[in-house]
Amino acid sequence: MKGANIIFKKEMKRIFQDKKMIFSLFILPAIIIIGMYSLIGVMMNRMVDDIKKHESIVYIQNMPKEYESLLKTSGFLEVAKVTYLTKESSVKEYENKILKESIDLLVSFENNFNNSVASYEKSGDVIPKVTLFYNTTGKYSTEAESNFRTLVLEPLQQQLLAKRLGNLEVLQVFQIAEKVIVDADKQNGQFLAMLLPYMITFMLFVGAMSLGVDAITGEKERQTMAKLLLTPINRSEIVLGKLSSLAVLSSISAVVYAISMIIAMPMMEGNMGSQGGAISVRFGVTQVVALFITMIVMVYLYVGLVALVSVFAKTAKEASSYISPLYIVIIVAGMLTMFQGGIEKPLYHYAIPVYGNSLAIQNIMTNELTLAQFLISSCSTLILAILVTIAIAKAFNNEKIMFNA
């Protein structure tokens, strides 16, 4: 094990003495993540403020005069500039304006609207229509439609119903009372349970990928690997030393990503103002330990897979192309968990490396991870990582592979 320790120290020294490597591996990702999340929050906040500050341009056709007082008291005129049109006005002309987003909303009342409302007596009688013309792709248009529907049409409908029936309570057969019973920790963790498994799965692999290619294929290209193999250190110890150093460095990289996200999310939420609730999750000791162990076995597997591919590649470019299919598989495995929240998974799903670990992380976030799920996901990944390590050790003993013969 002395040889493995020497290799471990050599690799750590190589990274931490290179300022460019330190910046690209540990500092730049933090800057990017914090900057990106903060920018998302700022842009979303600006978009919401822009919609709220915009004065909607609304045209109302053929509205009965007696409804104008309701329009004035509704508060709609505070957020919209309203122009009244006669029934002779061309609807097609205003449809084109809505399509071009030069106006936001056209409201058209049917002819003889009041008479149709007043003359309704039985089923089958004509029910008058109010047609709303708006553009679903326009943010101002959808906001104008929503405001008009909520502030004007719904109160008007209630007012006309009260006039027709006298007592609106006759329409309400019973009341529905709600009492929400929810686990606060599970509720708070649902957002992170959707996002973090993918992010952790992806980030751990990114860290292992860049480091692994440089540590093995890079050394083969620089011809320092040949010198290392000629030393009296056992090749199995060289493998162990390199994998250990890569695992530690990848873990540090993952921790940097995780801390950056923890810092960035509240910043994004703060920039979004009142949009959305606070992200607050409490982890118990067992959850922290389970998450740590899960991440460690994932790092071990990722480092092993990247190292195995790098051993067989002759150049860093070739290694990167070989790793691409692995990269896609890792991303897909992580993304699958984003859209499967709340669905009960059979235990054998947890035995699938990477995907099973992502499921375990998801359950950790909502405090639903069972011992069986944890053991199956961790052990299956660990077994595969050990098999990969054995394959790397055998490859290191093959002269043709190691010397690119």
Kindly state whether residues 237 and 374 are assigned to the same domain. yes
Answer yes or no: is pLDDT of 167 > 80: no
Whether 6 is in a domain gets the answer yes
Q: Give dist(CA 85, CA 109) in Å, integer.
A: 10
Kindly state whether residues 232 and 329 are assigned to the same domain. yes
Give mean pLDDT, residues 308-332.
87
Mean pLDDT, the chain, rounded, equals 83
Kindly state whether residues 260 and 295 are assigned to the same domain. yes
Beta-carbon contacts of 276 under 8 Å, excluding residues fewer than 6 positions away, are 269
Whether 79 is in a domain gets the answer yes
Q: Which domain holds residue 134?
A: 54-171
Whether 180 is in a domain gets the answer no
Determine what percent of the chain is predicted with pLDDT higher than 90. Answer: 24
Kindly state whether residues 40 and 104 are assigned to the same domain. no
Kindly state whether residues 14 and 85 are assigned to the same domain. no
Per-residue pLDDT band for 271 (boundaries 50, 70, 90) equals low
Answer yes or no: is pLDDT of 278 > 70: no
User: Which of the listed residues 137, 171, 205 is the one where a domain comes to its end?
Assistant: 171
Q: 217, 205, 260: which is closest to 38 by C-alpha?
A: 260
- Look up tokens 């751990």; give the residue: 204
Strand order in the sheet with 130-134: 80-85, 56-61, 105-109, 130-134
**CATH number of the domain encompassing residue 144:** 3.40.190
In angstroms and rounded to an integer, the radius of gyration of the C-alpha atoms of the chain is 32
Q: Give dist(CA 354, CA 360) in Å, integer.
A: 10
Report the alpha-carbon angle 317-320-322, nearest 5: 110
Whether 391 is in a domain gets the answer yes
Kindly state whether residues 115 and 211 are assigned to the same domain. no
Please compute, for residue 43, the number of CA atoms within 13 A of its CA located in the half-sphere on the CB side: 6
User: Which of the listed residues 139, 171, 203 is the one where a domain comes to its end?
Assistant: 171
Per-residue pLDDT band for 55 (boundaries 50, 70, 90) equals very high
Q: Give dist(CA 266, CA 272) in Å, integer.
A: 10
Q: What is the pLDDT of residue 190?
A: 66
Kindly state whether residues 75 and 38 are assigned to the same domain. no
Whether 179 is in a domain gets the answer no
DSSP one-letter code for 306? H
Tokens linked to 242: 């390199």
Kindly state whether residues 61 and 41 are assigned to the same domain. no
Our count of domains for the chain comes to: 2
Answer yes or no: is pLDDT of 101 > 60: yes
Whether 119 is in a domain gets the answer yes
More confident residue, 214 or 341: 214
Q: Give dist(CA 92, CA 94) in Å, integer.
A: 5
Q: 296, 212, 311, 198: which is closest to 255 by C-alpha?
A: 296
Answer yes or no: is pLDDT of 174 > 80: no
- Tell me if residue 180 falls in helix, strand or coil: coil
Answer yes or no: is pLDDT of 405 > 70: no
Kindly state whether residues 142 and 199 are assigned to the same domain. no
Whether 178 is in a domain gets the answer no
More confident residue, 302 or 187: 302
Whether 147 is in a domain gets the answer yes
Kindly state whether residues 341 and 294 are assigned to the same domain. yes
Kindly state whether residues 390 and 277 are assigned to the same domain. yes
User: Which of the listed residues 148, 171, 194 is the one where a domain comes to its end?
Assistant: 171
Give mean pLDDT, residues 141-166.
90
Kindly state whether residues 60 and 190 are assigned to the same domain. no
More confident residue, 175 or 152: 152
Q: Give dist(CA 238, CA 219) in Å, integer.
A: 13
Cite the beta strand spans of 86-162 per DSSP E.
Answer: 105-109, 130-134
Residues 176-228 pLDDT 10s: 888 877 666 666 556 666 777 877 788 788 777 877 887 888 887 777 777 77
